[in-house]
Amino acid sequence: MGYGLPAAIGVQLAHPDSLVIDIAGEASILMNMQEMSTAAQYKLPVKIFILNNEYMGMIRQWQELLHDERYSHSYSESLPDFVKLAEAYGAVGIRAETPDELDGKIIEMLDTPRAVIFDCRVEKTENCLPMIPSGKPHNEMILSDEVVDMGSVITAEGRALV
């Protein structure tokens, strides 16, 4: 968490003519947002695509699926305006709030020759699957959010984790 932005900047420096997109959650981006000054200083056209659900998404997902919805400190009540933050760094800020506007705004992002911070608002409780629960082997990854009896989840092998 937090590695994507500095890694994308490094890749963009190494491959200046390539399209580089960091796809991350808002909490991950905030861990190293100051690196946008590096992108601005070197005029790097890196694209930052934020999947913004106003949560630390994977933490919330673990708390939902593996800890009986015992949520603790995973919701972000006070987030910055990422469009204004992009502009503060001399980048372009774009926001999509509905699925209907997403395609057009992605094209706008791709056509922009400068750094872009794209704030893509997503459903707050949507899960990112597949996922491997902590301490479990890869063959017990969760493939579906289909919940079966007693709150268990179906794994890759069709077994239920309780």
Q: Which domains does the chain have, with CATH numbers?
A: 4-127 (3.40.50.970), 129-162 (no CATH)
CB-CB contact of 113 with 90 (8 Å): no
Q: How many CA atoms lie within 13 A of 71 on its CB side?
A: 12
- Kindly provide the b/e burial profile for residues 117-146, where b requires at least 16 CB atoms within 10 angstroms of the residue's own CB: bbbbbbeeeebeeebeeeeeeeeeebeebe
Question: How many percent of the chain have pLDDT more than 70?
Answer: 70
Q: What is the b/e burial string over 49-59, where b = at least 16 CB atoms within 10 angstroms of the residue's CB?
A: bbbbbbbbbbb
Kindly tell me if the per-residue pLDDT of 96 is higher than 50.
yes
pLDDT digits (tens, 9 = 90+) for 108-139: 999 999 999 999 998 766 666 677 777 888 88
The 8-class DSSP code of residue 121 comes to: E
